[in-house]
Amino acid sequence: MHAMKCICERPLSRSLPSAPSWSHALDTEPGARKNRLLAVLPDEDWQRLLPQLEWTDLPQGRVLHESGDAIDHVYFPTTAIVSLVNVMMDGASTEVAVVGNDGLVGIALVMGGESSSSRAVVQSAGFGLRMKARLLSAEFGRSGTVMHLLLRYTQALMTQMAQTAVCNRHHTIDQQLCRCLLIHLDRLGGDEILMTHESISNMLGVRREGVTETAQKLQAAGLIRYARGRISVLDRPGLERRACECYSVVRNEYDRLLGAPAAA
């Protein structure tokens, strides 16, 4: 297995507008509530959180927090995907869950911990909203709506983690890769994913050669097209039929707990 390569979090390269104008722009920006958790907030809670949110660039490889580090900010991805990765002492790593426009990076904060046992690293570049951790903690204690929403999301994320562990132990690389691609598609929208064979092998905790062989089989079957780290899904229903039950278990639990996502 290969160690996942990543870069440390950097300040944004461009300056943001001042708070009042930025908050107004955020309020009127259609992409601001593309995050599933923010989208279902009642207007009263949304208006209260609004001034505390700011857009942030999430380039591929950016580390949002390391294992054991204090969580200073939480992130609500809108067009990016963040991998939660457990890293061993020898540098080997395995993805335990992904967070995209379905959720929140830094959920350990509201569960009583100030740090996470996983590294959070941007897997697919995009944008998101961030908020100071102490402010979300205050909202968790203030609003019953926010508290129950985040607790339901925590249960959904725990289901994804548990099902990932089961899948990696009992299912073939072919089934695992199909599950991985479908979960990423759900959190990105569209039918294209930027992902190298090396990053997939790190996520699944398998050898790169096995990923390459499996990807070639899926391409030969007409399910995907792969070139230069770009995976295009040509036949999603076929990919779902080929995946194990783990994908549908995770998807159904998210829909049950958070409501079905809005159509693109």
The SS3 call for residue 111 is helix
Name the band, by pLDDT with cuts 50, 70 and 90, for residue 3: very low
Q: What is the pTM of this model?
A: 0.82
Q: What is the DSSP string of 56-101?
A: EEE-TTEEEE-TT-B--EEEEESS-EEEEEEE-TTS-EEEEEEEST
Q: Classify domain 7-143 at the CATH topology level.
A: Jelly Rolls (2.60.120)
Hey, which CATH number is domain 166-258, 1.10.10.10, 3.90.1820.10, 3.30.420.40, 1.10.3720.10? Answer: 1.10.10.10
| pLDDT tens for each residue of 153-198 | 999 999 999 998 888 888 888 898 899 899 988 888 778 888 777 7
- Model confidence over 211-252: pLDDT tens digits? 888 888 999 999 999 887 788 999 999 999 999 899 999 999
Q: Where are the domains of the chain?
A: 7-143, 166-258
Task: Enumerate residues 6+ apart whose C-beta is below 8 A from 43.
Answer: none
Within the chain, residue ranges assigned H as helices are 19-28, 36-39, 43-49, 133-142, 144-170, 173-188, 197-204, 208-220, 236-242, 245-258
Give tens-digit pLDDT for 140-163.
Answer: 888 889 999 999 999 999 999 999
8 A C-beta contact, residue 81 and residue 184: yes
Distance CA 92, CA 114 (A): 25
